[in-house]
Structure 1
Amino acid sequence: MIKIHVTSVFVDDQARALDFYVGKLGFQLKNDIPLGENRWLTVVSPDQPTGTELLLEPSDHPAVKPYQAAIVADGIPAASFQVDDLADTYDRLTESGVSFTQAPVDAGDVRMAVLDDTCGNLIQLVQLKCVKPTDMRLR
């Protein structure tokens, strides 16, 4: 079995990213290890402290800026995070100053919204809609 251990988002400022992902989104710091001018900086969900880590990866590679600019211009989120109550999360984050590029909207089996992480990325928040066992289909 293969599991995702660490995944990353490129950020243009690791300190600002840490403040946003911990202070605004509510993740908790897992690793902060100096690596020259940058850090191995990971956060995790407080509900799953031993779960998948999100690496706040420095965006100093020359290919990153054009890539980020292109996907942001096209409205493509760099990552997707699940929430239990999108309406509540949207209200709480909006009140704390988080900027959304897409307000909550239905999209198939989820409700979703998209926010700006202030570090070069769009991030999607999703709430899974309840699916009754009788609605499930084998694929």
Structure 2
Amino acid sequence: MYQHIVHVALVVRDYDEAIDFYVNKLKFDLVDDTYQPEQDKRWVVVAPPNSRGAALLLAKASKPEQEAFIGNQAGGRVFLFLNTDDFWRDYEYMKSVGINFVRAPKEQDYGWVAVFEDLYGNLWDLLQLKPDHPMANRMA
């Protein structure tokens, strides 16, 4: 059997400001941006460059109860994990374009990690897993 997670929905305030952040600051690829007139919404998908894993579905909040979760989809915990092949390159670049790191880089048993906020305040781990980490082989 072969299965994998394709998308993770991320509730956003505005499609274009979210695309600007993910594409222009994080350098993600814009995989799809299709208007769906029957629902008056867009299907917007972004993914890290050269990624073969799950992509983010940027889902614009359409109800007040959804708006309450913008920036707090995981109740203040780290929500998403961006693995890189060069931690220090990406850390320095992200700082240079104004991405806010709320926890400084630290070496852990599994690799290097630092916590940053996206444009809405969701927390992310920027990490570089050690080659012997079980997840490193799943992403190769």
Give the CA deviation at 1:51: 4.7
CA distance in structure 1 between the aligned counterparts of 2:70 and 2:109, rounded to whole angstroms? 27
5+ long unaligned stretches in structure 2 = 134-140
CA distance in structure 2 between the aligned counterparts of 1:22 and 1:28, rounded to whole angstroms? 6
CA distance in structure 2 between the aligned counterparts of 1:106 and 1:51, rounded to whole angstroms? 24
Q: TM-score, normalised by structure 1?
A: 0.77
Q: Which residue of 1 aligns with 2:34?
A: 33
| Letter paired with 1:42 | V
CA distance in structure 1 between the aligned counterparts of 2:78 and 2:57, rounded to whole angstroms? 16
Q: Which residue of 1 aligns with 2:113?
A: 112
CA distance in structure 1 between the aligned counterparts of 2:100 and 2:83, rounded to whole angstroms? 18
Q: TM-score, normalised by structure 2?
A: 0.77
CA distance in structure 2 between the aligned counterparts of 1:47 and 1:6, rounded to whole angstroms? 16
Question: What is the root-mean-square deviation in Å for CA atoms of aligned residues?
Answer: 2.4
Secondary structure of 1:78's partner?
Answer: strand
Aligned residue pair count: 130
Q: Which residue of 2 aligns with 1:57?
A: 59
- Could you report, residue by residue, the CA deviation over 1:72-98 in whole angstroms, capped at 9, with x for unpaired residues? 773x12211111121221111101111
CA distance in structure 2 between the aligned counterparts of 1:57 and 1:113, rounded to whole angstroms? 26
5+ long unaligned stretches in structure 1 = 133-139
Secondary structure of 1:93's partner?
Answer: helix
Q: Which residue of 1 aligns with 2:46?
A: 43
